[in-house]
Each structure stands twice: as C-alpha cells, then as structure tokens.
Structure 1
Amino acid sequence: MPRPFTTFNFKVLIEAEPGKVLCDAEFSDCDGLEVNMEPKTIREGGNNGRQIHLAGPVSYGQLSLKRGMTSDFALWRWFEQVQRNRTLRASGRILMLASDRSRADVRFDLTGCLPVKLKAPTLSAKDGEIAIEEMQIAYETLHLAESGA
C-alpha cells in the first residue's frame, strides 16, 4: 500500500556545477515550489456562449528557505559570487524523504537558480538560533521527478 508523502522530511541540495555540491543543507521551512500558467483566452466569432483557453506563458515562484543548518558558509559565498558574476547560476534539488530518511520519494529539480535574498538571524546571546534565518532563490524552471525516476 502506498504511503502518503510527508512534508516534514526534506533536504535541499544546490549545485553550482554538475556533480559539485555547493550546499547540502537542512531547513525548517521550504516554500515557493510553484508553477503558474496564464491561459490565453480567445472567443470564436458568432459563439457568445463559449470561450477557448489556450496554454499561455508559464511563470515560477520564488523558493524561500527558512531557519537553515549548514556545515559551512557556502551559501554566503555563492551569494557573493553572484554579486561579482551576475551570469552565475546553479541548479537545485528539493528531496522529499521517506519517513526513515533512507530514500527520496519525490524530487523537485530547479534550474537557473539565483540567490536574491539572504538574511542572518537576530544576534542575541539568550537565543539559540541558527546561522541562516532565511534565503530566497529565484529559479527558471521546476520539474517533478517521482520515486524510481
């Protein structure tokens, strides 16, 4: 019997080049995996009771990663590299893991990733917050790969 996909078990991978992992991180929240299509609506002459919808341009969301844990400063370095080389892009993978974290059941592949916001947490000696509060990434395409694909 198939198990439901859970949203609390996921991992984020970002590669600057194929095979060269820039970031292998854990975040508490991942939002913005979305694709929208704006239909083109046309009306047929003489047919006032019907409209025809054609596939229109596609737009993508902006990935928002919150409260992240990484072992290094690779995400900060990537942001700084993009400031110097504005054509630098990366690819990303969001893996939805099985409940035992042994495999990825679903994978979202992102291309043309560009960091657009990086926010550090409020620095406070009384809080035990993590070093990356929020990162936002614009992406050019989004593809879904099911398990076994």
Structure 2
Amino acid sequence: MPTREDPLVSFKFGLEIEGKLTGFFTQVSGIGSESEVIQHKVVNSETGETIMQQIPGRLTWTPVTLKRGVTSSMDIWEWRQQVVEGKIGEARTNCSIVAYAQDNTEIARWNFENAWPSKVVGPEMDAGSTNYMIEDVTIVHEGVERVS
C-alpha cells in the first residue's frame, strides 16, 4: 500500500548564492518553465483526415520573484549593481531557493543556473504605517531543477 504523504508546509524560504545563504524571504513566486505550443497539421494517410498535433516549441524559464523584510544587508542590491554596471558575467551565478520547515530543517530545494537579478524594488514607505518595509527581487535564469 502506498505511503500517504501530506503536502509540505514551509515557514520560510532562503536564497543561497553559490552555496552561501544570503537571507530569508517571506514570499517566492514564479518557479517554473513553459514550452511554446506549436500546432502542426498532419494528414492521416489511411483516412485522409486532417489532424492538428500539438508539439512543444521553444522552452522558456519563468522569472522568480522573492519578497523579504528590509534588513541592513546590502547583498541583493550589490548583486543588482553588477548588472547595472554592465558586469553581467560577474552577476550570473548559480543559486538555490530552499524551503524550511518550522524546525529549520530543509524540506525542498530548487537549483537555478546562471541566475541574475533583473529587477530590485525597494519598500513602499509611509510614516503612518506600522508595517514592515518589504523589498522585492526578480531573478531570471537559464534553468531550474527541483532537487529535493
């Protein structure tokens, strides 16, 4: 009989760049890939019937967006600055998003190839607010694999 496994519940997400944990994030979205769908018309040689086949075309990797509370760490901004200065060769790096359980054990990991930050957005600020300041980073990459 198959073992029942409940869905994973994650309490925090870490970003590792070249194996070094750069910080924790409260939200992560966009992990995935998509194939363009190409319709191909085929004629059945026996019946003469026209059939539309759908075949995979160009593969694209979706950008990943992470959100976190602003801290004194400048790591994301420094990484983005490499791109701003045209140092894309230095900015491209392998990284991982790691999901952690409540007891801080790793429960899932996605590895990204040749990733770099395409966008960083600072916090919205309101003197009358009691909310935490949140910053966003969007990372583009050339491949993702879920390894655990």
Give structure 1 stretches of 5+ with no counterpart: none
Q: Where do residues 30-109 of structure 1 align in structure 2 (5 Å cutoff)?
A: 30-46=28-44, 47-70=48-71, 72-84=73-85, 85-87=87-89, 88-102=91-105, 104-109=106-111
User: CA offsets, 1:84-128, max 9 Å, x none?
Assistant: 2122302221112234222x2221111121211111113344435
**1:129 Cα offset (Å):** 4.6
- Contact 2:43–2:50 at 8 Å: present in 1 too? no
Alignment CA distance shift 1:14-1:69 (3 Å): farther
- Contact 2:70–2:123 at 8 Å: present in 1 too? no
**1:140 Cα offset (Å):** 1.4
- Aligned CA RMSD, in angstroms, stands at 2.4
Aligned residues: 140
Q: Helix, strand or coil: the match of 1:101?
A: coil
- Contact 1:89–1:114 at 8 Å: present in 2 too? yes
The equivalent position to 2:22 in structure 1, one of 21, 24, 27, is 24
Between the aligned residues of both structures, percent identity stands at 21
**1:48 Cα offset (Å):** 3.3
Alignment CA distance shift 1:27-1:65 (3 Å): same
Give structure 2 stretches of 5+ with no counterpart: none
| TM-score (normalizing by structure 1) | 0.77
Structure 1 range deviating more: 74-83 or 127-136: 127-136
| TM-score (normalizing by structure 2) | 0.77
Structure 1 range deviating more: 120-129 or 77-86: 120-129
- Contact 1:11–1:96 at 8 Å: present in 2 too? yes
Structure 1 consecutive aligned stretches of length 4 or more whose deviation exceeds 6 Å: none
Larger radius of gyration: 2
